[in-house]
Structure 1
Amino acid sequence: MPLDKTVEQLTQALALWLIPGSNQRRVVKSYLATTGLPDASLATAESLLDLMARNTVFSDKTRDLARLALHDPWQLPFADRIEAHLIWAEQANHHLIFLADLPSLLQQLADPPLLLCVAGQPAQIEAPSLAVVGSRKLSSEGEHHAANWSYHLAWQGLNIVSGLARGVDGYAHQGALRAVAEGAFGTTCAVLAHGLDRIYPPEHRAMAANISQTGALISEYPLGTPPIARYFPARNRLVTGMSLGILVVEAALQSGSLVSARHAMEQGREVMAIPGSIRYKQSEGCHQLIRQGAALVTCPEDVLSELSVPLNNFLAVAAPSISANTSNLSANTSKPLKRTLKVVDVPEHLHSLYALLNDLPQPTDALLATLKLTAEQGSVLLLELELEGLAVQKTGGWCKSA
């Protein structure tokens, strides 16, 4: 179910979302222009419906529907669809997330989604993420890069975001899922261009089910929405929008992945591309991106290097909300905190976690249990320790770096 929302508030949010027409970008743009706010984090469904009901940029029919949604949404002609979504959200691991509750990266988009359907773990859409995209028709080398780089980057704590499509998307999800199965902190999310009551392509149903167990399936489209071609480019802006950067594995010159790269550039995200043979059509798009300024990357470590600045900025914002959970060192800590910190300079909010580490790898579950951290909180903190050069992940768990 949605977090911190009454049924009345959620009903209004659904009514706003389901009003027919292309009103999403217009209503958010009008709200920002009217309030002078930098983003829509303070918007409510009621305030947006009121704006829609009064603003003449919307059609008479749209304004009438907005007024009805404000006063009696159950009289709307699509009230049955509102009810269907409320019933859907009552199921386990089903969530409806309104605009004001979205992660700040998505709120900052020029056209943020009014509402997201999420099947799985909603906290994962706020995790530090990397978009991995590319062609549907891959070389064997491209398959290897998509799967193995995603595998290694998930082990570094990154959430791998893609679109569940054939080709690069599928291999990226597979690589991240393999890392999750072996105990990695990072996971994977799939952003879909249709309602969450169906899966496209159908051969990825089992993969989608696995993703929803540890990551999330995400859509801005209502239940019942079919996979229509024009929805896919719009979907791509969310793949890049929720990510710190984008990695293009293989792409022809006419590939939709270049559209994703353009979204990423407009959103101020890091853009990276893997070079390939000049003889392969699948490499032409990557080479064009590199000529246009995308970072040339040849290994997962290059990706982490390119993401170091946005990752540190992300962690600087995320850490204050997490540090309170790590302020009290458990009595099970084997070494005194002060003695540990004499050797290296450790950021204050990482003291407790760093003090638990020693030269032998320790299982991540044990570390989290000791400090009573969730997987998301632990992922952020361990990733920051690694970026600081203070910790390293090895077979069997985490230990202090040499």
Structure 2
Amino acid sequence: MDEDQLRAWLLALRCPGLGPGGLRTRLADADGDIASALDRIVRGSVPAEAGARDWLRRPDQARLDEDLLWLAHPGRRLLCCTDADFPPPLETIPQPPAALFVAGDASLLLLPQVAIVGARQASPGGLANARAFARSLGQAGLLVTSGMADGIDGAAHVAALDAGLPTVAVVGTGADRVYPRKHQGLARRIVERGALVSEFPPGTPARADHFPRRNRLIAGLALGTLVVEAGLRSGSLITARLAAEQGREVFALPGSIHHPLARGSHQLIRDGARLVEDPGEVIEALGPAARALGADLAARLGGESPDAPIGGTATEAADDPLMAALGHDPVALDELVARLGTPASELSARLLLLELEGRIGALPGNRYQRLAR
């Protein structure tokens, strides 16, 4: 994307009265051309609020320059809904975002994810459960996604990172801000090893109404949402409800009937969430969806036919070079990228397929090893 296109996107994203839905509608009318979509608004060819036209005619150029400066930093990107690698799961949710600001590895958003959420004032047992599930689910090939909040969210992110695995944090501020401030160090680790994602432009402060919007993205990116601990008025229940409304799996850990932070989880279970006691139950439940998403990703990025069977001789034939590159000793993803000259996003999709087929195993440190068959 050249600077003119990028500036046009930033202009649209900061335009008052437009919003993600309005922007997507205008883009559809303009065949995906952002400059044309904005020009039609300015010329009055399509309905728009007066404030939108005023902004587009006389925008705050200094603010747009600051946005461009933030995006110019290595490892930062504006991921737009017109981009080929925009996360497909987000296209099916109500009110999908028009674009995402990403600090870190944006290709991770294409991989199968599981959301782990829960109480900010979590118990020691709840934090331990969050860490154990995050570590096991991440090692099984599911990318752990959460909101970088205190308590369960932070514990899940830290456990994934400590196991040498990437993690995704979706935040309710601009991607240049950290909330809560105590998570400055965690945010740096997430950017270095995973991805920090926001729907809001740089400089956006924390506001109460931003977090339900953030929660819909957490639920939308993930194949399923696991609630570890939650009170009856917990924001985690909003994420779980949104996940259910989006047709995604919802899981809940049971707790003591005397523990206030078990009541939200128990309510979810009464409402139809799956009661789980072991990470293997989540992995088994999400396996088919992860397999389907991995196959679709491999087809789109690797040039295979979307109708090709998952597993069997077709998959084995397509992945022979990768199996050869793996050798017989543990090897890191970065080393596979160097050996094959293939983008990490494509390799991640192929590795996921091989892992789901039981042909390779994922190891700590983002390493992989062939398994005896």
State whether structure 2 residue 324 is matched by structure 1 residue 390.
no
- How is 1:236-251 mapped onto 2 (pairs within 5 angstroms)? 236-251=215-230
Q: Which residue of 1 aligns with 2:125?
A: 141
Q: Which residue of 1 aligns with 2:317?
A: 348
Deviation, 1:17, is 0.7
Aligned-partner residue type, residue 154 of structure 2:
G
Query: Which of residues 135, 141, 163 in structure 2 aligns to 1:151?
Result: 135
Alignment gaps of 5+ in structure 1: 36-41, 69-75, 181-185, 326-340
Aligned-partner residue type, residue 369 of structure 2:
W
Deviation, 1:171, is 0.2
Deviation, 1:226, is 0.9
Q: Which residue of 1 aligns with 2:34?
A: 45
- State how far apart, in whole Å, the 1-side matches of 2:171 and 2:347 are: 28
Query: Which of residues 239, 264, 267 in structure 2 aligns to 1:288?
Result: 267
Q: Which residue of 1 aligns with 2:307?
A: none
Q: Which residue of 2 aligns with 1:277?
A: 256
Q: Which residue of 2 aligns with 1:307?
A: 286
| Equivalent pair of 1:362/1:398 in contact (CA under 8 Å) | yes
- State how far apart, in whole Å, the 1-side matches of 2:138 and 2:18 are: 36
- Give TM-score scaled by structure 2 length: 0.87
Describe the SS at the equivalent of 2:255.
coil
Q: Which residue of 2 aligns with 1:94?
A: 76
Percentage of identical aligned residues:
36
Q: Which residue of 2 aligns with 1:253?
A: 232
Query: Which of residues 83, 94, 99 in structure 2 aligns to 1:115?
Result: 99
Please, what is the CA RMSD of the aligned residues? 2.7
Q: Which residue of 1 aligns with 2:187?
A: 208
Q: Which residue of 2 aligns with 1:14?
A: 10
Query: Which of residues 81, 84, 92 in structure 1 aligns to 2:63?
Result: 81
Aligned-partner residue type, residue 156 of structure 1:
A
Q: Which residue of 1 aligns with 2:308?
A: none
Q: Which residue of 2 aligns with 1:165?
A: 149
Deviation, 1:87, is 1.3
- State how far apart, in whole Å, the 2-side matches of 1:345 and 1:107 are: 29
Aligned-partner residue type, residue 289 of structure 2:
P
The Cα offsets for residues 82-132 of structure 1, whole Å up to 9 and x where unpaired, read as 111111111121212222122222233332222222111111222221111
- State how far apart, in whole Å, the 1-side matches of 2:262 and 2:36 are: 48
In structure 2, the CA distance between the partners of 1:305 and 1:83, relative to structure 1 (3 Å rule), is same
| Equivalent pair of 1:95/1:119 in contact (CA under 8 Å) | yes
State whether structure 2 residue 340 is matched by structure 1 residue 371.
yes
Q: Which residue of 2 aligns with 1:126?
A: 110
- Give TM-score scaled by structure 1 length: 0.81
Aligned-partner residue type, residue 44 of structure 1:
D
In structure 2, the CA distance between the partners of 1:104 and 1:401, relative to structure 1 (3 Å rule), is same
| Equivalent pair of 2:114/2:223 in contact (CA under 8 Å) | yes
Q: Which residue of 2 aligns with 1:380?
A: 349
- State how far apart, in whole Å, the 1-side matches of 2:188 and 2:363 are: 29
In structure 2, the CA distance between the partners of 1:97 and 1:58, relative to structure 1 (3 Å rule), is same
Q: Which segment is superposed worse, 199-208 or 117-126?
A: 117-126
Q: Please tell me whether Structure 1 or Structure 2 has the larger radius of gyration of its CA atoms.
A: 1
- State how far apart, in whole Å, the 2-side matches of 1:17 and 1:320 are: 31
Q: Which segment is superposed worse, 19-28 or 47-56?
A: 47-56
Describe the SS at the equivalent of 1:305.
helix
Q: Which segment is superposed worse, 114-123 or 232-241?
A: 114-123
In structure 2, the CA distance between the partners of 1:94 and 1:31, relative to structure 1 (3 Å rule), is closer
The Cα offsets for residues 285-323 of structure 1, whole Å up to 9 and x where unpaired, read as 112212222222211111111111211210121112454
| Equivalent pair of 1:135/1:250 in contact (CA under 8 Å) | yes
Aligned-partner residue type, residue 153 of structure 1:
L
In structure 2, the CA distance between the partners of 1:372 and 1:240, relative to structure 1 (3 Å rule), is same
Deviation, 1:31, is 5.8
Describe the SS at the equivalent of 2:163.
helix
Describe the SS at the equivalent of 2:319.
helix
| Equivalent pair of 1:89/1:95 in contact (CA under 8 Å) | yes
- State how far apart, in whole Å, the 2-side matches of 1:61 and 1:315 are: 43
State whether structure 2 residue 185 is matched by structure 1 residue 174.
no
In structure 2, the CA distance between the partners of 1:29 and 1:382, relative to structure 1 (3 Å rule), is same
Describe the SS at the equivalent of 1:293.
coil
Query: Which of residues 361, 370, 373 in structure 2 aligns to 1:399?
Result: 370
In structure 2, the CA distance between the partners of 1:122 and 1:347, relative to structure 1 (3 Å rule), is same
In structure 2, the CA distance between the partners of 1:357 and 1:105, relative to structure 1 (3 Å rule), is same
| Equivalent pair of 2:252/2:274 in contact (CA under 8 Å) | yes
Deviation, 1:211, is 0.6
Aligned-partner residue type, residue 97 of structure 2:
P
